[in-house]
Amino acid sequence: MNYASYVAADGSHTWGIVSEGTAYDLGPSGLNLAPSLGAAVERGIFGTVGEEFRNAPARPEAEIEFLPSITHPGKIICIGVNYRSHQKETGKAEHQKEQKAPTIFTRFADSQMGHLQPAQMPASTNEFDYEGEMALVIGKEGFHVAEADAFDHVAGYAAYNDFSVRDWQLAATQWTPGKNFPGTGGFGPYLVPAADLGDVNELTLETRVNGDVRQKASVADLYFTIPQLISYVTGFTRLSPGDVIVTGTPGGVGRFMVPSGLLSAGDVVEVEITGLGTLRNTVELVD
């Protein structure tokens, strides 16, 4: 089942199920099961809604304005250089053999945007890049979670695009500035319950720029696995329902292409993951 956050007909924020091209409103302007998709995850409603959703107020999917799947997560934890193919292109493959812990940075909730919303390239940079990734959303509070129990804490998965302002990212050893410009964290279009997907290692991630395939990898190519990530992150911080972990990007980012594959205004970037739909954002130059 595909869940989404979007703007209701009255302009308020809502959420619901998108099925066969129709969005069914389960939020305050509809069946009012919870005030937001994040709240639905927190209350344990996410992934449990049956066929009664078809009684909700409905609109064509083509008419809705998507919001980030989780609009106000308490934490967004991003993992850097976590696909073997990306390690190779960055020249860090040998270093990774000795790495004991994942590279971690944070993204702010207000830097996110939804499916079909513009990716905002700041006019101050010529180094705007894409990073197609898979995000997971926490469904159960956890602290010091064992790897064997990690999947029990995952509510669902979605596509993510960690658009990066490379000159700001690489100006110092800490990446946070280049990862938090407004309108650079694409999240969606759907959040899909983990129970609907089976083995996530069998999913394939593909990123396209103007239709050209730039990244393609199996989730099984992650260096630090999802259980390892959840166990490590909960070793230093408590994760709550609605928190997000963005698991890393495969090889094929624009910065390491020859010639350069960095983005320009008007470029259309799509991140498609098996069973999760296609996240699409068009680059827009902003002051």
Instruction: Tell the residue number behind the tokens 């209701």, with chain if given.
Output: 8
Residue 32 lies in a domain: yes
* pLDDT band at 88; cut points 50, 70, 90: confident
Residue 280 lies in a domain: yes
- The CATH number that applies at residue 139 is 3.90.850.10
Residue 241 lies in a domain: yes
pLDDT averaged over every residue in the chain: 96
Q: Which of these three, 46, 66, 86, is where a domain ends?
A: 66
Are residue 87 and residue 225 in the same domain, yes or no? Answer: yes
pLDDT in tens, 171-184: 999 999 999 999 99
Least confident of 78-92, 150-164, 263-277: 78-92
Could you tell me if 106 and 77 are in contact, meaning their C-beta atoms sit under 8 angstroms apart?
yes
pLDDT in tens, 94-130: 665 678 899 999 999 999 999 999 999 999 999 999 9
Are residue 127 and residue 241 in the same domain, yes or no? Answer: yes
Q: Domain tally for the chain? A: 2
Are residue 157 and residue 229 in the same domain, yes or no? Answer: yes
Are residue 126 and residue 15 in the same domain, yes or no? Answer: no
Are residue 25 and residue 134 in the same domain, yes or no? Answer: no
Residue 25 lies in a domain: yes
Amino acid 95: pLDDT: 60
Least confident of 27-31, 76-80, 165-169, 171-175: 171-175
Question: Over pLDDT 90: what percentage of the chain?
Answer: 94
- Checking if the pLDDT of 224 tops 80, the result is yes
- Distance (Å, whole) CA 113 – CA 109: 9
Residue 182 lies in a domain: yes
Are residue 59 and residue 93 in the same domain, yes or no? Answer: no
* DSSP-based three-state secondary structure for 91: coil
pLDDT in tens, 90-100: 887 666 567 88
Are residue 216 and residue 157 in the same domain, yes or no? Answer: yes
Are residue 93 and residue 22 in the same domain, yes or no? Answer: no
Are residue 233 and residue 101 in the same domain, yes or no? Answer: yes
Are residue 144 and residue 217 in the same domain, yes or no? Answer: yes
State the CB neighbour count (10 A cutoff) for residue 225.
17
HSE-up of 73 (CA within 13 Å, CB side)? 32
Tell me the mean pLDDT in the region 239-248: 98
CA distances (Å), origin 248, targets 48, 50, 52, 103, 225: 28, 33, 36, 10, 10
Tell me the mean pLDDT in the region 132-146: 98
pLDDT in tens, 30-54: 999 999 999 999 999 999 999 999 9
Are residue 95 and residue 205 in the same domain, yes or no? Answer: yes
Range of 40's domain? 2-66
* pLDDT band at 271; cut points 50, 70, 90: very high
Residue 24 lies in a domain: yes
Q: Which of these three, 66, 88, 121, is where a domain ends?
A: 66
Contacts of 32 (CB under 8 A, 6+ apart): 26
Residue 43 lies in a domain: yes
Amino acid 69: pLDDT: 98
Amino acid 93: pLDDT: 61
Are residue 51 and residue 86 in the same domain, yes or no? Answer: no
Residue 71 lies in a domain: no
- Checking if the pLDDT of 7 tops 80, the result is yes
Amino acid 85: pLDDT: 84
